[in-house]
Amino acid sequence: MSARPGGGMGFVSTVAEGIAVAFDSIGANKVRSSLTILGVTIGVLVVMVMAAVITGINGSFSELMSPRGITTFWVAHFDFTSTALSGPLDEDEPDFLKNEPLDPEWAEELGRVPGIQSAAAFVDLSQESYEARVGSERVEISLLGAGADYLEIDGGDIITGRWFTRAEADRRAQVTVIDSATAVDLFGNRNPLDREVRIGRGNEAAVFRVIGIYRVAPNLFAGLATHWVWVPFATADKVLRVWDRMISFVVRPEPETELQLAIDATHARMRQLRNLKPGEEDDFAIMTEDQMLELWAQLTGVLFAAMVGLSSIGLMVGGVGVIGIMMISVTERTREIGLRKAMGGRRRDIMWQFLVEAATLTLLGGATGMLIGGAIVWAVNQLTPLPAVVPMWSILAALAASVLTGIGFGLYPASRAAGLDPIDALRYE
């Protein structure tokens, strides 16, 4: 390693020599350097991918909400938006076990509330392991049991065929409406109307007749799942043996009615239907899309915290590697440092050179993490329904974290190098 004796070094020369020495150190300490770069790579990669997915989903939510506004709300037997992120359960039973399930026939009562256009009972089974099967073809589905009025409230479109009628819903007819993705995967180029499909999970399956192909209306969560299948609510409740505690209502106010007025009227009617006396707490909940967004904000907060934690571990691993490599570098270059200081080299120049060397190592890890992270984000966009957009702040944060990790963990070795006594350093063998 050539010394640069002299009174001082320009900033550009300091940076250039620090970078050159960093690459020499990588070649001389391949294992330690690889671990250092790997640690920083993982830290940066986690930030990039998590930030891209969260930013993409947030953007999709905003795009969906802006043009359509908040036009519906939900009634359930407990408020899952307030309990989803709760800590350990209290000694008492949680609300979703303690509160009585809703009566699906109350949907008609809510539909007659002044200011309410319509209401429909539904049960969302999209998180359960249901599948649809036609011959040897099978797909995992997002299953919903819905009322006859659900189509009017949800706002989607029937591409071909029809929705199930009130009579079919009342008599628990085994008919189904499927989305276009399910139709293509199960039936290919054949017309799916009036054909049979088996729906269920495990041995609990039943035969349904396809009566319609449906296009899902844009909503907060439709884009995160595929293969939507609807059956009449009563059929889902009895034929597929769904858990009746999960019954909910989706309610659409009249266009001229303010949302809060519609919610207040629905709340009053629900208290009557629940036979609640004045002063008694509600044993049901009314939720809006605003609350859904607040819940998502909480979830993203948790995800960001996890992201920071995982990223910090990777950067710590890289930082420890920096200290090890730089201390070896200081030891190997002790005589060079002594010669430079004896020739008038400034403490500041020596310290800067070692800091640049450390930052170069971690910046290599950061660049590698950004490249791999970008490839993963591209794959997420191509292979999953999740939107992923790399925000500029995540790139800047990744670069800053990489450099600061190198500088922070390289500070001690750099200070030690700059503080060497030139006479003792020149005597070092």
Q: Can you give the pLDDT at residue 4? A: 43
- Is the domain of 264 the same as that of 136? yes
Lowest pLDDT segment from 39-48, 215-224, 300-309, 373-382: 215-224
Share of the chain above pLDDT 90, in %: 17
Mean predicted confidence (pLDDT) in 216-239: 71
Note the pLDDT tens digit of each residue in 153-173. 776 788 999 999 989 988 889
- Is the domain of 226 the same as that of 337? no
Which structure tokens are listed for 45? 């990669």
Q: Considering Cα of 213, then 62, then 74, then 140, what sign does the dihedral take?
A: positive
Q: Can you give the pLDDT at residue 11? A: 57
Q: Does residue 241 fall inside a structural domain? A: yes
Mean predicted confidence (pLDDT) in 182-195: 93
Asked whether the predicted pLDDT for residue 321 surpasses 90, the reply is no
Mean predicted confidence (pLDDT) in 342-365: 80
How far apart are alpha carbons 38 and 25 in whole angstroms?
A: 16
Q: Does residue 1 fall inside a structural domain? A: no
Query: Please, are residues 33 and 321 in contact by the beta-carbon 8 Å criterion?
Result: yes
Share of the chain above pLDDT 70, in %: 79
Q: Can you give the pLDDT at residue 89? A: 46
Task: Give the end of a domain, one of 250, 283, 316.
Answer: 283
pTM as predicted: 0.61
Q: Considering Cα of 395, then 399, then 404, then 410, what sign does the dihedral take?
A: positive
Task: Give the end of a domain, one of 219, 251, 283.
Answer: 283
Asked whether the predicted pLDDT for residue 55 surpasses 50, the reply is yes
Between CA 343 and CA 350, with CA 349 as vertex, the angle to 5 degrees is 75
- Is the domain of 308 the same as that of 263? no
Higher model confidence: residue 106 or residue 219?
A: 106
- Is the domain of 17 the same as that of 148? no
Q: Does residue 78 fall inside a structural domain? A: no
Q: Give the range of the structural domain holding residue 235, as residue numbers without chain letter.
A: 100-283
Q: Can you give the pLDDT at residue 348? A: 77
- Give the count of domains, the chain: 2
| Helix locations, 119-207, DSSP H | 150-154, 166-170, 180-187
Exposure b/e, 394-409, CB count within 10 A at least 16 = b: bbebbeebbbebbbbb
Mean predicted confidence (pLDDT) in 343-354: 76
Asked whether the predicted pLDDT for residue 67 surpasses 60, the reply is no
- Is the domain of 411 the same as that of 326? yes
Note the pLDDT tens digit of each residue in 392-421. 888 888 888 888 988 888 888 888 877 777
Q: Does residue 288 fall inside a structural domain? A: no
- With bands split at pLDDT 50, 70 and 90, how would you rate the model's confidence at 86? very low
Q: Does residue 90 fall inside a structural domain? A: no
Give the contacts of 216 (CB within 8 A, at least 6 positions apart).
Answer: 154, 156, 179, 222, 228
Mean predicted confidence (pLDDT) in 80-92: 52
Count of CB atoms within 10 A of residue 416's CB? Answer: 16
Query: In a 3-state reduction of DSSP, which class is residue 92?
Result: coil
How far apart are alpha carbons 126 and 323 in whole angstroms?
A: 50
Which structure tokens are listed for 217? 């209306």
Q: Can you give the pLDDT at residue 1? A: 44
Q: Which of 268, 226, 333 is nearest to 113 (CA)?
A: 268
How far apart are alpha carbons 250 and 379 in whole angstroms?
A: 35
Asked whether the predicted pLDDT for residue 269 surpasses 90, the reply is yes
- Is the domain of 236 the same as that of 114? yes
- Is the domain of 189 the same as that of 117? yes
Q: Can you give the pLDDT at residue 212? A: 94
Candidate ranges 10-19, 149-158, 318-327; pick with highest mean pLDDT: 318-327
Place of tokens 């009017």: 152
Lowest pLDDT segment from 83-87, 116-120, 340-344: 83-87
- With bands split at pLDDT 50, 70 and 90, how would you rate the model's confidence at 186? very high
- Is the domain of 107 the same as that of 189? yes
- With bands split at pLDDT 50, 70 and 90, how would you rate the model's confidence at 87? very low
- Is the domain of 277 the same as that of 397? no
Note the pLDDT tens digit of each residue in 276-290. 999 888 889 898 877
Write the CA distances from 293 to 34, 52, 61, 300, integer angstroms.
42, 18, 8, 10
Q: Does residue 128 fall inside a structural domain? A: yes
- Is the domain of 308 the same as that of 384? yes
Q: Does residue 367 fall inside a structural domain? A: yes
- With bands split at pLDDT 50, 70 and 90, how would you rate the model's confidence at 81? low
Q: Can you give the pLDDT at residue 69? A: 52
- With bands split at pLDDT 50, 70 and 90, how would you rate the model's confidence at 3? very low
Asked whether the predicted pLDDT for residue 174 surpasses 70, the reply is yes
The neighbouring-strand residues paired with 143 are 125, 229
Q: Which of 318, 340, 298 is nearest to 82 (CA)?
A: 298
Task: Give the end of a domain, one of 220, 253, 283.
Answer: 283
- Is the domain of 232 the same as that of 329? no
- Is the domain of 41 the same as that of 177? no
Q: Can you give the pLDDT at residue 162? A: 93
